[in-house]
Amino acid sequence: MAEKTQRIGIFDSGLGGTTVLKEMIKSLPNEDYIYYGDNGNFPYGSGKTKNELQKLTERILDFFVKNNCKLVIVACNTASTAAIDYLREKFSLPIIGIVEAGVKIASKNTKNKNIAVISTKFTAESHGYKNKAKMLDSELNVKEIACIEFAQMIESGWDTFDNRKELLNKYLSEIPKNTDTLVLGCTHYPLIRKDIEKNIKIKVVDPAVEIVERATQTLSSLNLLNDKKEKGKIIFFVTGETYHFKPTAEKFLEKEIEIYRIPK
């Protein structure tokens, strides 16, 4: 049986999920977190099959269960698209997927029901958002745009790429004119949100905000919110390099992190 003092597990293919972690820390600062960055198997969004992604994420869930987690957040749109139902069948602990959260926050913000989603190739080609929208808000019209290079560029250092503005303009120009809401459908993209917002005049929404609400509601309904007074502890595990990951995560989170490398 789960206890209040157990941890919250958050995972992503790399750095992107730190955008979700940051929102979680803001709202639930007394919780203990494990962040799993599977950067040794990055990228998830291109070159991997649905079956491969399910097996990778199953291994991560096993890791969270062994490390005493009470709830897991799939902070990766690609993994959420490929594996959320598979993981829920395999594991009994609550699992929150970011694609569902993205559809919910878009539905709350759009005035005319026309939304666009920028994402990885896998999420777009699998129609992760369109399919989830049919289940959660069938009135939504969803345009999915695959920004093939973005996750890799952000993971490696967005500002080091001279062609970033050109690529940004290329993909954002695909947004239909009647769109009033853009979903950042990859957790890496909030890291370049300012650059995105400079190029468009429509509402930009981050599913991480909705994730926090859903996680809080879930823990509260199960009486699992940690009620300790002191701030929680965060431990990072990565399957790839730490030399770039650590300083980038620390800069974004504005704090030093405890990080360990584990086999991929």
**3-class SS of residue 48:** coil
- Among 8, 24, 60, 76, the one annotated catalytic: 76
- Among 186, 208, 212, 215, the one annotated catalytic: 186
d(CA 144, CA 124): 5
Question: Distances from the Cα of 248 to the Cαs of 16, 181, 209, 237, 243, in angstroms?
Answer: 11, 29, 21, 15, 9
Q: At what angle do helices 98-109 and 77-90 cross, to 10 degrees?
A: 120
CA dihedral 35, 235, 226, 96 (to 10 degrees): 10
d(CA 223, CA 218): 9
| Catalytic site includes residue 186 | yes
What are the catalytic residues?
A: 76, 186
